[in-house]
């Protein structure tokens, strides 16, 4: 009911903007049907509108997530791995630039759409991620948010069906969402990828995702969403956790770091190395990633580090890392998972 009310409020808030835009187009003798042919959905149209090239990429994405994505400032700050106050300042500066420079909120013509596609994809994927692992609250998964992001991803593919990164994004979301039912057990506790019952994975989404990955890679050139989808495909093709081809996943992360290097990608590469070459080597790489300080406030950095330390039976260090992770997450499901690991470590030491 709350989600429904929020959606209705968003629709009401944007109705005047949409009506104004339609009147402007009619005054210019534009045919609304032709515009709608380019934009099969009003929300997708507004996302393209917000991703104005006069703003830098980060500001485009943050402002769109705040305005149209129904994400709060803390949720967006987590997505960008920055403090909430920093993100709030960026939003204020972006709004000020729009006002002072007189940047118009107008539907972009078809010829400029490709320049905005990267930002739009980023918005859609960050919306999906918030649904896949909620920043806070009692639920780990916000199903309606995941479904909305996938819906927008499908519409993006309709808008530009030959863009391989659009296909890669949709494939990535479908493959990740296919695990949804296995990520939480009957008591509402978090289940790691390694421990999931893969019979609960959704084969329809996996089949579609694998088909889209193959199609996207054939189209080329290879981008970050295609590579992430390829990594998700390797997981999807494994019958069980032991059959996972971690060497291939590590190789894909190397390529991903080459074209889209981030601290999070480096962290994921380190985990893949830990699973393919050895825990000690993986931990070395995680420590190297953490040395920059970029991931000091990132929950998954500390929980990943703690997991390797636990497997290496370095329980005191693992406990400290889990405790740090516990302080960094506001999601109750994640908190309960970390507390369970801390209890297991305490019992193991005894």
State the DSSP string of 134-150: -SEES-S--HHHHHHHH
Per DSSP, the three-state class of 184 is strand
Confidence of residue 253 (pLDDT cuts 50, 70, 90): very high
Per residue in 319-338, pLDDT tens? 999 999 999 998 899 999 99
pLDDT of 22 > 60? The answer is no
- Inter-CA distances, 13 with 19, 68, 144, 326, Å: 11, 10, 20, 37
What is the percent of the chain where pLDDT is above 90?
Answer: 51
- Residue 115: enclosing H or E segment and its boundaries? helix 113-132
Give a three-class secondary structure readout of 319-339.
Answer: HHHHHHHHHHCEEHHHHHHHH
Give 16's contacts (C-beta < 8 A, 6+ positions apart): none
What phi and psi values does residue 93 have, to the nearest 5 degrees?
A: -65, -40
Return the structure tokens found at 136: 């806070």
Reported in sequence order, the residue ranges of the chain that DSSP labels E, i.e. its strands, are 136-137, 330-331
Lowest mean pLDDT among 94-98, 225-229, 257-261: 94-98
Compute the average pLDDT of residues 225-241: 96
Evaluate whether 158 touches 50 at the Cβ level (below 8 Å).
Answer: no
- The more confident residue out of 126 and 199 is 199
Return the structure tokens found at 121: 């994809």
Number of H helices, E strands in the chain: 17, 2
d(CA 45, CA 264): 30
b/e map of 104-124 (b: 16 or more CB within 10 Å)? eeebbeeeebeebbbbbbbbb
pLDDT of 152 > 60? The answer is yes
Confidence of residue 164 (pLDDT cuts 50, 70, 90): very high
d(CA 305, CA 301): 6
In the predicted model, what is the mean pLDDT of the chain?
83
Per residue in 6-18, pLDDT tens? 555 555 554 554 4
- Report the alpha-carbon angle 345-265-163, nearest 5: 140
Give 147's contacts (C-beta < 8 A, 6+ positions apart): 131
Per residue in 290-311, pLDDT tens? 999 989 999 999 999 999 999 9
Question: Is the preceding peptide bond at 221 cis, omega within 30 degrees of 0?
Answer: yes
Task: Supply the pTM of this predicted model.
Answer: 0.80
Scanning 133-242, the segments in alpha helix (DSSP H) are 143-159, 164-177, 203-219, 224-237
């Amino acid at each position: 009911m709350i989600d429904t009310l929020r959606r209705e409020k968003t629709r009401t808030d944007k109705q005047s903007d949409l009506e104004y835009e339609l009147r402007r187009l009619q005054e210019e003798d534009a045919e609304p049907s032709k515009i709608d042919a380019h934009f099969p959905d009003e929300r997708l149209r507004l996302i393209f509108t917000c991703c104005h090239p006069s703003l830098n990429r980060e500001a485009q994405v943050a402002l769109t997530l705040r305005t149209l994505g129904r994400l709060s400032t803390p949720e967006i700050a987590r997505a960008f791995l920055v403090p909430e106050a920093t993100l709030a300042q960026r939003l204020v500066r972006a709004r000020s630039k729009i006002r002072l420079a007189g940047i118009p909120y107008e539907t972009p013509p078809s010829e400029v759409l490709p320049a905005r596609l990267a930002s739009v994809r980023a918005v859609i994927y960050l919306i999906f991620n918030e649904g896949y692992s909620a920043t806070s609250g009692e639920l780990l998964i916000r199903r309606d948010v995941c479904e909305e992001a996938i819906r927008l991803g499908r519409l993006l593919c309709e808008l530009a069906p030959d863009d391989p990164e659009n296909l890669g994004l949709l494939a990535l979301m479908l493959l990740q969402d296919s695990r949804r039912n296995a990520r939480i057990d009957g008591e509402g506790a978090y289940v790691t990828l390694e421990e999931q019952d893969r019979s609960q994975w959704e084969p329809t989404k996996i089949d579609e995702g694998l088909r889209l990955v193959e199609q996207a890679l054939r189209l080329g050139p290879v981008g970050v969403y295609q590579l992430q989808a390829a990594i998700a495909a390797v997981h999807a093709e494994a019958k069980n956790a032991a059959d996972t081809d971690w060497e291939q996943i590590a190789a894909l992360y190397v390529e991903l770091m080459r074209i889209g290097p981030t601290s999070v990608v480096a962290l994921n590469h380190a985990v893949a190395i830990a699973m393919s070459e050895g825990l000690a080597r993986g931990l070395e790489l995680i420590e190297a990633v953490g040395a920059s300080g970029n991931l000091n406030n990132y929950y998954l950095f500390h929980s990943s580090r703690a997991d390797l330390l636990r497997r290496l039976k370095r329980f005191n260090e693992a406990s400290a890392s889990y405790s740090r992770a516990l302080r960094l997450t506001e999601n109750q499901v994640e908190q309960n998972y970390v507390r369970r690991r801390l209890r297991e470590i305490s019992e193991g030491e005894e």
